[in-house]
Amino acid sequence: MSGTAPGGGSIELAGLTKRFGAGDHPAVDDISLSVASGEFFSLLGPSGCGKTTTLRLIAGFEQPTSGTIKLDGADVSGLPAHRRNVNTVFQSYALFPFLTAFDNVAFGLKHQRVTKDELKKRVNDALDLVSMAKFARRRPAQLSGGQQQRIALARALVLRPSVLLLDEPLGALDAQLRRSLKGELKALQERVGITFLYVTHDQEEALTMSDRLAVMHSGKIVQLGTPREVYDEPADAYVADFLGAANLIEVTFPERPAGSRFPVQLGEAVLTAHGEAPDGAAGSAHAVIRPERVRVEPHGSPGDNRVPALVERVVFLGATTQVMLRLANGTSLQSLLPNDGERTELAQGTPVHAYLPADALRVLRGAPVRSVEATEAAPLAS
């Protein structure tokens, strides 16, 4: 299917809002966003955050309450779905059970003005692209979940959309298959060169495949950036808590912070942290440090940003070992140690020092809110 990727594929959302009832909290709340042509862009968030509603608005399955949707610079806000040069792959795949894989892929082309020879060539090219040519005569019930997903992708790509919308396309697959297909999906996007807008609640999917991603909460985008930017520098405690494993620690400010690096107090220890310090006088806030940045050192190790701790649990995870620590003030802390051949014998009850590097200890705005996510889900608002 080389050489068939269309030009364009840019998406621009301006003030996009969607309410399902006059008094309802908006499922999508004043979103403005630009996605570049050829970009793999993900909308990431828990159920109820508005990511799927945003995708449905772009696809034309829902109409916005206000705001605009532009595809390649053209306002399509009021156009029906069939008049937008986008296609959608759903979690359920929605394959026709009575049609073969070939005929499922060909279904959309039969409503376009293409010759039989061109139809056959484009379908075979699409099947080759997803490595499913040898299964062309099989029906969906004769295919595995991963094979059905590839057929759904081929059916969408054969129409040569400028934008492909993917709504949790790996969600119905088992964990091992999801891991293998993530790499395939990113490689496929790079080969065809079209814009992918990917909706997921799976942080690992978004981090491994995306060029950029937007983390959503309560219908709004709370942070936008590259996977590394969002992971290493979360905008607030919500993003830190949702995106990957994180140690969220309550700290206090002994004095009004100044500058981007400042002292914080954790129990009896005064540490150096960085980030956006709260305005005002002394108070409390949350700091975050990723488990892989927490180092476990022998008890009594000298130096800054080291706090005494007790090993509570040690769990072998294969590539890493998880060490659960308890600080003197009762704070729990998780460390992930690489299994790189340097064995460190840590048993439950071992006194140690936890080293929290200043460049990895980041003070955040807001408080973790994962616990209230379940109360915010609404129909079609995921």
User: Pick from 215, 237, 259: which residue ends a domain?
Assistant: 237
> Mean per-residue pLDDT for 121-125?
93
CATH number at residue 216: 3.40.50.300
Identify whether residues 162 and 197 lie together within a single domain: yes
- For the chain, what is the domain count? 2
pLDDT at 91: 79
Helix and strand element counts for the chain (H, E): 8, 20
With a pLDDT cut of 70, the percent of the chain lying above it is 89
> Mean per-residue pLDDT for 133-154?
92
Tokens of 73: 């610079």
> Which stretch of 11-20, 53-62, 122-131, 270-279 has the lowest confidence by average pLDDT?
270-279
Q: Is residue 110 part of a domain?
A: yes
Q: Is residue 95 part of a domain?
A: yes
pLDDT tops 90 at residue 276: no
Answer whether 356's CB lies under 8 Å from 289's CB.
yes
> Mean per-residue pLDDT for 81-94?
88
pLDDT at 365: 67
Q: Is residue 3 part of a domain?
A: no
pTM of this structure: 0.85
Tokens of 37: 């042509």
Identify whether residues 288 and 345 lie together within a single domain: yes
Q: Is residue 376 part of a domain?
A: no
Q: Which residue has the tokens 């002292």?
A: 263
Q: Is residue 372 part of a domain?
A: no
* DSSP percent split of the chain into helix, strand, coil, nearest 5: 25, 30, 40
Q: Is residue 378 part of a domain?
A: no
pLDDT at 285: 82
With a pLDDT cut of 90, the percent of the chain lying above it is 59
* Domain that includes residue 154, residue range: 11-237
* CA-based R_g, the chain, Å: 25
Q: How far apart are CA 354 and CA 302, in angstroms?
A: 11
> Which stretch of 58-72, 77-91, 202-216, 247-261 has the lowest confidence by average pLDDT?
247-261
CATH number at residue 266: 2.40.50.140
Identify whether residues 34 and 166 lie together within a single domain: yes
pLDDT tens by residue, 213-263 = 999 999 999 999 999 999 999 988 889 888 888 899 999 876 666 667 888
Q: How far apart are CA 272 and CA 69, in angstroms?
A: 45
pLDDT tops 70 at residue 378: no
Identify whether residues 249 and 208 lie together within a single domain: no
DSSP 3-state assignment of 37? coil
Identify whether residues 144 and 262 lie together within a single domain: no
To the nearest 10°, the Cα dihedral for 300, 301, 304, 306?
A: -70
pLDDT at 373: 38
Answer whether 161's CB lies under 8 Å from 87's CB.
yes
Q: Give the CA distances from residue 28 to residues 31, 58, 169, in Å, rounded to whole numbers and listed in that order.
A: 7, 12, 21
pLDDT tens by residue, 305-361 = 999 999 999 999 999 999 999 998 899 999 999 998 776 678 999 999 999 999 999
Q: How far apart are CA 155 and CA 132, in angstroms?
A: 12
Q: Is residue 253 part of a domain?
A: yes
